[in-house]
Amino acid sequence: MARKILSINGNRSMNYLLKTITSDKYNLITVPEALQAMWVLKTQKEIECVLIDLDYHTEQNLEFIQHLQNSFLYQCPIIILSSNKETDEDITLTNDLNVFFKPFNPVDLKKLIDDTVRPVHAE
């Protein structure tokens, strides 16, 4: 069973790129905004990682990141995609939060996702 990653991104071409680089190991669930992402988190309990693009709905996405960081129910790593380094200076970095600036090499992002997602435990 493929592991699930949630992508919050309003850019269809970026979602296509993300699906392409993650399809070998992960099931990428894409939503365009944070409100839909919250619904996915409530209904899909096995989300391993959240990819969030701050270039779309920036304020809403920053509030969503803050909610995830303070939530006891939704503890999962967060990878932020952004092209604006000034906006991201306000983000408090924790162990479960990585900022990845655009433009980027898709192979580097794939490696970060692989390194960020918790390893599957041997059964």
Low-confidence ranges of the chain (pLDDT < 70): 1, 86-96, 118-123
What was the pLDDT predicted at 108?
93
What was the pLDDT predicted at 107?
93
What was the pLDDT predicted at 102?
87
What was the pLDDT predicted at 45?
77
- CATH class belonging to 3-116: alpha beta
In this structure, what are the phi and psi dihedrals at residue 97, rounded to the nearest 5 degrees?
A: -135, 125
The position carrying tokens 């493929």 is: 2
What was the pLDDT predicted at 122?
40
Can you give the three-state secondary structure of 44-89, one letter per residue?
A: CCCEEEEEEECCCCHHHHHHHHHHHHHCCCCCCCEEEEECCCCHHH
Query: Taking the complete model, does pTM exceed 0.75, yes or no?
Result: yes
β-partners of residue 28 are 5
| Domain chopping of the chain, boundaries | 3-116
What was the pLDDT predicted at 37?
93
What was the pLDDT predicted at 58?
79
The Cα 118–Cα 67 span in angstroms is 21
What was the pLDDT predicted at 94?
52
